Amino acid sequence: MLATARTFTLDGIAARPVRVEIDVRRGLPAFSVVGLPDTAVREARERVRAALANCGFEFPLRRIVANLAPASLRKAGPGLDLAIAVALLTASEQLEWEALPRVAMVGELALDGSTRPVPGALAIAEAARELGAEILVVPVENGAEAALAPGIEVISLESLAQLPELAAGRWSPVPPQSLPFVLDGDGGGGDLADLRGQPHLRYAMEVAAAGGHSLLMVGPPGAGKSLAASRLPSIMPPLARGEALEVARIASACGKLAGGPVGQRPFRAPHHTISPAGLVGGGSPPGPGEITLAHRGVLFLDELCEFRRDALEALRAPLEAGSVAIVRASSALRLPCRFMLVAASNPCPCGRGEVDAECSCAPQAVRSYQSKLSGALADRLDILTTVRQPSAEAMGGEAGEPSASVRERVCEARERQASRLGAGRCNAEMTPAEARESALAEGAAALLAESYSRRRLSGRAHDRVLRLARTVADLAGAEAIGRDEMAQALQLRRRDA
């Protein structure tokens, strides 16, 4: 007899529909799985066999063929176990489920028949709804995540043994509570009030958050660079609901949602030994990298100069495009990656910097170390701020301004940008033409022209300063960029070698 069940496999961060077709007929006992399964899917045979037996079902001693359609799509991961088991039970007439054509399901099986969580439940729930399914069966741990998707009934299943009850309508499970939306949290990084003293660093962070500008902090170890970076999500504008779902979908596909609230801006700080594939995505099968995990949030590269050059080079194109295309022989993926780049670096290999008499770094070593501060990636960094150890008074002094009030100013500045540039766009994304259209007060134009003519600015830096100045003016609520705002932007800009 033939039976089918609907399930999904994950391709990058998107869910692709898969139909499990099972044919059970007389013949030598065998169980084969066809249709481009990977190792984990092929091993489903053993898991399903044990799970059925341990839940009081009978594993049919017949010739069983499982076909995973479409046969051309590569299926990965153990998430197909549940659908195979259900189709097998139906095909062997041990389960009669009237609603099965309207049901989609996903889940890994343990040998005792209980379900195990799978990545990407949110994307799968959305894809199931698109496909017209009315019910989605997921492992109990994925229930809250899948329930984020509106318009589909989610059933969290604990064990295969619950299936007969469910199918017969004798058990109506409580719909799982969806994960909470917290749109104005601090991203788990803490409050900016923890940053004491260092007014210029705070100011640079505020401008960066307000205009979406990338930020480079240079200073000795322990001066507060990492602390400052981790506080950035707390002063960035809250995510819109659609953006929050987008972020949650990515985290879910990477198995990183972990029951936490949804709607926080992500903060990713990969270690500097990361490979290019780990940073931008890749591997086999291709999956998202850190830049996609940082989508709509902050990607923090601590010790920028220690990163592999090829990894930093790989960042350039995605940074400009806001998305990354990962093309391999067998597949092509396009993943979103609109993140804010924040980098930190020591001034020299020993970290003290030449102002410190103790610094004993050879000039050649300092030069090669700093070469990454003026390379092609550094060209994409807008703001430079020098961080020094805060003074004892500042450390013992009162707490700084809390994130909430800084965020208020940032949001106002973002609104001004949106009304000028269109919804969702910020000053950092202005084209050179748009940047040059910015209204300049007389003093500002003179100051910029003077800096430019003294060869202190390159053409590219000229446009960068204009973008920064526009953000500074937006923060100040000014229509035209004034002289002071231009001066501040000139000071904030990253220096060329």
Partner 1 sequence: MSKPRACLECLHRAWLLARLAPYIEKIATGAPGSRSPELLRLSNEDLAAVSAPSVATQLLAGVLEIEEGRLREELRAARCWACCRHDALYPEGLRDAADAPWALIGRGDAALLAGLEPEGAVTVVGSRRATSYGREVARELGRELAAAGMVVVSGLAFGIDGCAHRGAIEVGRTVAVLGCGADVSYPQAHRSLWRRICAEGLVLSELPPGTGAWRWTFPARNRIMAALAGMTVIVEGAKRSGSLITADLAADLGRDLGAVPGPVTARTSAGPNDLLAGGACLVRDAQDVLDAMLGPGARRIDRSGPDLDLRLRAALEVVEGGVDTPDALAAALDLSGAEAAAALASLEALGYVSCSLVGAYTRTMLRPPPAGI
User: Using CB under 8 A as the criterion, which residues of the chain lie in contact with partner 1 when the complex forms?
Assistant: 197-204, 218, 345, 347, 353-355, 357, 362-364, 367, 370, 373-374, 384-388, 390-391, 394, 447, 450-451, 454, 456, 472, 484, 487-492, 495-497
- Record the tokens describing residue 343, joined without a space: 């980098």
How far is the C-alpha of 282 from the C-alpha of 184, rounded, in Å? 32
Q: How many CB atoms are located within 10 Å of the residue 112 CB?
A: 13
Q: Are residues 426 and 474 in contact, defined by beta-carbon separation less than 8 angstroms?
A: no
Q: For residues 200 and 425, which CB has a smaller minimum distance to partner 1 in the complex?
A: 200
Name the phi and psi angles at 312, rounded to 5.
Answer: -70, -40
Q: For residues 32 and 405, which CB has a smaller minimum distance to partner 1 in the complex?
A: 405
CB of 71 to partner 1, least distance (A): 57
Q: Residue 101, preceding bond cis, omega within 30 degrees?
A: no
Q: For residues 202 and 414, which CB has a smaller minimum distance to partner 1 in the complex?
A: 202
CB of 153 to partner 1, least distance (A): 53
Contacts by 482-487, CB closer than 8 A, 24 or more apart: 482/441, 482/443, 482/444, 483/441, 483/443, 483/444, 483/446, 483/447, 485/444, 486/440, 486/443, 486/444, 486/447, 486/448, 487/447
Q: For residues 97 and 369, which CB has a smaller minimum distance to partner 1 in the complex?
A: 369
Q: For residues 230 and 451, which CB has a smaller minimum distance to partner 1 in the complex?
A: 451
CB of 102 to partner 1, least distance (A): 59
Work out the angle at residue 201's Cα, subtended by the Cα atoms of residues 196 and 205, and round it to the nearest 5 degrees: 110
> CA separation (Å) from 110 to 54, 78, 121, 344?
10, 10, 18, 45
Q: Residue 288, preceding bond cis, omega within 30 degrees?
A: no
Q: For residues 363 and 422, which CB has a smaller minimum distance to partner 1 in the complex?
A: 363
How far is the C-alpha of 224 from the C-alpha of 231, rounded, in Å? 11
**Number of H-type helices and E-type strands within the chain:** 19, 18
Q: For residues 220 and 263, which CB has a smaller minimum distance to partner 1 in the complex?
A: 220
CB of 300 to partner 1, least distance (A): 18
DSSP code for 289: -
CB of 370 to partner 1, least distance (A): 6
CB of 391 to partner 1, least distance (A): 6
Q: For residues 77 and 197, which CB has a smaller minimum distance to partner 1 in the complex?
A: 197
Q: Which helix (H) or strand (E) holds 205?
A: helix 199-211
Q: For residues 31 and 369, which CB has a smaller minimum distance to partner 1 in the complex?
A: 369
Q: Are residues 209 and 410 in contact, defined by beta-carbon separation less than 8 angstroms?
A: yes
Q: For residues 181 and 203, which CB has a smaller minimum distance to partner 1 in the complex?
A: 203
Q: Is 74 exposed, middle or buried (0-12, 13-18, 19+ CB in 10 A)?
A: middle
Work out the angle at residue 276's Cα, subtended by the Cα atoms of residues 273 and 277, and round it to the nearest 5 degrees: 115
How far is the C-alpha of 326 from the C-alpha of 425, rounded, in Å? 25
Q: Are residues 283 and 348 in contact, defined by beta-carbon separation less than 8 angstroms?
A: no
Q: For residues 190 and 390, which CB has a smaller minimum distance to partner 1 in the complex?
A: 390
* Residue 401 C-beta-side C-alpha neighbours within 13 Å: 15
Q: For residues 273 and 391, which CB has a smaller minimum distance to partner 1 in the complex?
A: 391
CB of 363 to partner 1, least distance (A): 4
- Record the tokens describing residue 336, joined without a space: 């979103």
CB of 341 to partner 1, least distance (A): 17
- Record the tokens describing residue 42, joined without a space: 């092929």
How far is the C-alpha of 405 from the C-alpha of 234, rounded, in Å? 10
Q: Are residues 230 and 189 in contact, defined by beta-carbon separation less than 8 angstroms?
A: yes
